[in-house]
Amino acid sequence: MARLQPDSSESADTEPADSMRNLYAVKISAIWAAVRREPLSFWAINMYLLLEYVRPQTAYSTLNIMPWDKVFLVIALIALLGESRTVSVKNGTDKLIMLFLLAVLVSSVLATYTGISFSHFTDFFDWLVIYFLITRIVTTETRFFIFFLAFLVYNFKMSLHGFRSWAGRGFAWENWGVTGAPGWFQNSGEFGIELCVFFPLGYYFLATLWPQWGRIKRLFFLMFPLTTIASVAATSSRGAAFGLAGAVIFITAQSRHRVKAVFIAATVLGLLYLIIPPQSLARFYRSGEDKTSIERLVRWKDGISMFEKHPFFGIGFFNWDRYYASHYSTIHGGFGLPHNIFIQAGSELGSFGLGVFIMLIIAAFVNNHKTRKLVPKSRNPFLHNTALGWDAAMIGFLVSGSFITVLYYPYFWIDLAFVVALRTIAENVARQEPELSDGHAEFIDSPPPVF
């Protein structure tokens, strides 16, 4: 499905064993030395990731003088086009995401409210550009490790903030929960979805690289999953709790040490149950009967009704708000969102868009499966286990995203870019390293304690 084709100026793109060993040990000096050797495009895409997930330009008004995230995306694009050392990436997922673009365009042309559709065109097109930039720039194991580590650290900043916010009010319940960075994760439910993505990735990162670290680094990275569990409890989001449970169940099912894995899973879910405020638990007990649940069920039923009336291309890209107000508000009253990524896709884009979206989900799992086939755990535990982490993260997103309207948020599209980039690198490593490299052999001598 995916092939890596280096040009004449770049013969291998493989990393020296000592270099990767130092990165696995998370030595700051080694990371900085590696970053300094990377081209401008890699610096720019990293700046974009910082601006998207930390949002300093929103937190500090003096910085908010221009759309910095888009500025660095343009810099990354121009730099990538001008750099002589490039890697040609071919992956079937590229065709699927272009097919989804076609679904958006067709749905917009045939939309009930065409003007609204085209006014929101960049809500998807931006993710298309970001997907191609990440998959074309993050093409070596060194780049992936640094980019992925940055992604984890930015998520940890949010999970730590959520934990501190909850602790600051004495671990008391608030109906608004806790929030993440400004922007995409400001709402507690949306923040909860990102936590469901972050937990399995942080868990596999910790479990895989644990033997490479000293006590301080182990304690630091152990905070990744622990603060995530606490923040999920603090969000008061039922969808986030279900998403985390789904990710934990997947991790347990994939473990070779089932008894230990079941014990850890029971500990995680038991800890989550114990620390969730009583008011949040009461919401679980009332699921299906409380006002929020009933409203969601009504929106889902209305969304299915829209799909039945417009089965092929939907009511139109981003038409839900206006269409619902015109056709359903007199029946059910008030404002309503679909509160489900699949109903959102089906109602707005029809069977065409929903079908392509499902194929993209399948493609993510297929890419991760092939990554693990290319690099078995005995050969490259980091790449292998990270692919498992992305599978679990996707499950966490799909479960929690079934309760919130987040199809055009960064979760799926950036996750998909990471998955394709990982597959590209696994392809390269498999072709360039016919024998087990010394850089990865240490994992076999000292296996991670959790697997």
The pLDDT assigned to 330 comes to 58
The pLDDT assigned to 2 comes to 41
Q: Report, as an integer, the average pLDDT of 4-9.
A: 36
Q: How confident is the model at residue 59 (pLDDT cuts 50, 70, 90)?
A: confident
Bigger pLDDT: 326 vs 114: 114
The pLDDT assigned to 4 comes to 36
Q: How confident is the model at residue 124 (pLDDT cuts 50, 70, 90)?
A: very high
Q: Are 380 and 435 in contact (CB under 8 A)?
A: no
Q: Report, as an integer, the average pLDDT of 248-273.
A: 80
The pLDDT assigned to 62 comes to 82
**Inside any domain, residue 80:** no
**Inside any domain, residue 48:** no
CA–CA distances in Å: residue 447 to residues 208, 212, 317, 390, 443: 8, 10, 49, 21, 5
Q: Are 246 and 396 in contact (CB under 8 A)?
A: yes
Q: How confident is the model at residue 273 (pLDDT cuts 50, 70, 90)?
A: confident
3-state class of 3 per DSSP? Answer: strand
Q: How confident is the model at residue 11 (pLDDT cuts 50, 70, 90)?
A: very low
Based on the structure, what is the number of domains in the chain?
A: 1
Sign of CA dihedral 168, 169, 170, 176: negative
The pLDDT assigned to 12 comes to 40
pLDDT(126) > 90: yes
Q: Report, as an integer, the average pLDDT of 396-414.
A: 95
Q: Are 411 and 401 in contact (CB under 8 A)?
A: yes
Total count of residues recorded for the chain:
451
Mean pLDDT (the chain, rounded): 87
The pLDDT assigned to 282 comes to 63
Dihedral angle of Cα 191, 192, 193, 194, to the nearest 10 degrees = 50
**Inside any domain, residue 304:** yes
User: What is this structure's pTM?
Assistant: 0.89
Q: How confident is the model at residue 85 (pLDDT cuts 50, 70, 90)?
A: low
CA distance 429 to 440: 12
The pLDDT assigned to 431 comes to 83
pLDDT(449) > 50: no
Residue at token pair 């067709």: 106
**Inside any domain, residue 431:** yes
Boundaries of domain holding 357: 93-445
pLDDT(290) > 70: no
**Closest Cα partner for 262 from 252, 274, 251?**
252
Q: How confident is the model at residue 64 (pLDDT cuts 50, 70, 90)?
A: confident
pLDDT(194) > 60: yes
The pLDDT assigned to 288 comes to 59
**Range name among 91-95, 167-171, 411-415 with the lowest pLDDT average:** 167-171
Q: How confident is the model at residue 293 (pLDDT cuts 50, 70, 90)?
A: confident
pLDDT(297) > 60: yes
Q: How confident is the model at residue 296 (pLDDT cuts 50, 70, 90)?
A: confident
**Inside any domain, residue 427:** yes
Sign of CA dihedral 184, 185, 189, 193: positive
pLDDT(448) > 60: no
The pLDDT assigned to 337 comes to 86
The pLDDT assigned to 334 comes to 56
**Inside any domain, residue 353:** yes
pLDDT in tens, 100-113: 999 999 999 999 99
**Closest Cα partner for 345 from 334, 332, 358?**
358
**Range name among 224-233, 290-299, 376-385 with the lowest pLDDT average:** 290-299
Percent of the chain, pLDDT > 70? 86
Which residues touch 157 (CB under 8 Å, ≥6 apart)? 54, 181
Structure tokens at 39: 């081209």
pLDDT(441) > 90: no
Q: Report, as an integer, the average pLDDT of 343-354.
A: 97
**Inside any domain, residue 395:** yes
**Inside any domain, residue 313:** yes
Instruction: Give residue 275's region: left, alpha or beta (phi > 0; psi -120 to 50).
Output: alpha
